[in-house]
Amino acid sequence: MKYFKLLIISVFFLSVSAVSFAQSDSAVKNIEPEVLNTVLNNATVQLVDVRTPNEFKSGHIDKALNINYYDQDFSVQIGKLDKSKAIYVYCRSGVRSKYASDILKKLGFKEIYNLNGGILSWNTQNLPLKK
């Protein structure tokens, strides 16, 4: 009986570990502004600004694609991007891009990076914006 309980407990913990490992496969990773800037300077990436078009026009990170999180067809628009490549998302403060990252996960994107603190954090580091 003692071994049976030990076996049940072991199976439970292995199951929980397996589920956690599977979910971490497409986990969203927060990235700091300086790191994103380095990535952008050294590679071509899918960079998506999920703010409104007016916010985007006020200043955005160079080469960013604007897909408004509030658009009715946001999932359709963002779902057209390449799921096999890393995707970087940002917004004003990091909230909308976090929600957008959750949608990306559900759509099957595997490598998702969210700009920690959004464009506000980017500005705090005096990194370049395009207008």
Read off the pLDDT of residues 48-74 as tens digits, 9 standing for 90 and up. Answer: 999 999 999 999 999 999 999 999 999
List 36, 61, 64, 91, catalytic entry = 91
Residue 60 lies in a domain: yes
- Tell whether the model's pLDDT for residue 107 goes beyond 90: yes
Establish whether 91 is a catalytic residue: yes
- Tell whether the model's pLDDT for residue 113 goes beyond 60: yes
d(CA 90, CA 11): 40
The number of folded domains in the chain is 1
Which residues form the domain of 38?
A: 26-124
- Tell whether the model's pLDDT for residue 115 goes beyond 50: yes
Helix (H, G, I), strand (E, B) or coil at 27: coil
Nearest to 107, CA basis, from 76, 130, 129, 131: 76
Residue 69 lies in a domain: yes
